[in-house]
Structure 1
Amino acid sequence: MELPEFAPGMVARVELTVTDADTAQALGSGDVPVLATPRVLALAEAATVAATARQMPGGVTTVGTRAEIDHRAAATVGRTVIATATLAKVDGRNLTFDVTVREGERTIADVRVERTLLDRQRFIEKAQGQ
């Protein structure tokens, strides 16, 4: 497997307008109608995937292996949040991203996501027990 070369500093952004389906009530992570922590994490991971997508060769992917989240503020239904992922560190096949999730100037969450580069097909086969 030929590994792509990634350099720290790569950046990508994804945005989400919060809907009822994104709330803690809907996802079962709480009983309040605000952006759920699991959805914040999913948004942060989407930003990390977007950061590497253009340089990812066929047959290679990344999988999340670790995440740390500091969910600082609530975002209500109808608000738009933006996750900005920056590749902070490359260590062989391991990539570490710092992600900030904001609503305007307000920080909603800070997330550190670690992903590992791997052969996509081999990973799927192993997961299926083949």
Structure 2
Amino acid sequence: MFDLRSTLLPGMNNTVQKLVDESDTATRYGRGSLGTLIATPAFVSLMIDASIATVENRLPEGFTTVGTSFEFTHDAPTCMGMTLRVKSTLVEINGENLIFDIVASDDYGEVGRGRHQRAVVNRKRLFEKADQRINNRLS
């Protein structure tokens, strides 16, 4: 494995934003009673996307990241038609593990926070391991 600190630095950050549309709503995720509010799975997905985008283009060829843990709070509703902004900051590098702090806000202020851990892995080995698991199950 290579030294992650040669390409990644704590403090690196990335912000993604999305106009919340019908595909992001609780109705789309089977919670019709919550109508036009953003669904928690869509909210979390954007948090993960922001973390990936912070580091993905700085990894050596053949490497990627996979999520290993995620904690978050979803503190306020965001309605369809509002813009959700998510800032993810790399705060710690521990071996192959990357820790991100995440803050989400919409047009009226902060709506949630998270802490996400991703592991840097060799893409080829990851798929070999997946194939091995499938083959062992089929044997």
TM-score (norm 1): 0.92
> Within the alignment, does 1:19 sit opposite 2:21 as a pair?
yes
- Counterpart-to-counterpart distance in 2, 1:61 and 1:30: 36
Tell me which residue corresponds to 2:89: 86
User: What is the alpha-carbon root mean square deviation over aligned residues?
Assistant: 1.5
State the identity %.
Answer: 33
In the TM superposition, what are the counterparts of 1:33-72 in structure 2 within 5 Å? 33-72=36-75
Q: Is the 1:14–1:43 contact (alpha carbons within 8 Å) kept by the matching residues of 2? A: yes
Tell me which residue corresponds to 2:2: 2
TM-score (norm 2): 0.86
Q: Is the 1:3–1:117 contact (alpha carbons within 8 Å) kept by the matching residues of 2? A: no
CA 1:70–1:29 in structure 2 vs 1: closer, same or farther (change >3 Å)?
Answer: farther
Query: The residue matched to 1:41 in structure 2 has which SS?
Result: helix
Tell me which residue corresponds to 2:101: 98
Q: Is the 1:40–1:109 contact (alpha carbons within 8 Å) kept by the matching residues of 2? A: no
CA 1:31–1:52 in structure 2 vs 1: closer, same or farther (change >3 Å)?
Answer: same
How big is each residue's C-alpha offset from its partner over 1:41-61, in whole Å with a ceiling of 9 and x where there is no partner?
A: 110010001110231111000
CA 1:124–1:73 in structure 2 vs 1: closer, same or farther (change >3 Å)?
Answer: same
Runs of 4+ in 1 over 3 A off after TM superposition: none
Query: The residue matched to 1:24 in structure 2 has which SS?
Result: coil
Q: Is the 1:4–1:57 contact (alpha carbons within 8 Å) kept by the matching residues of 2? A: no
Structure with bigger helix share is: 2
Q: Is the 1:24–1:35 contact (alpha carbons within 8 Å) kept by the matching residues of 2? A: yes
Corresponding residue pairs, total: 130
How big is each residue's C-alpha offset from its partner over 1:22-55, in whole Å with a ceiling of 9 and x where there is no partner?
A: 0111123563121111111110010001110231
- Cα offset, 1:127, TM superposition: 1.6
CA 1:29–1:113 in structure 2 vs 1: closer, same or farther (change >3 Å)?
Answer: farther
Paired AA for residue 85 in structure 1: S
- Counterpart-to-counterpart distance in 2, 1:127 and 1:28: 30
Structure 1 unmatched runs, 5+: none
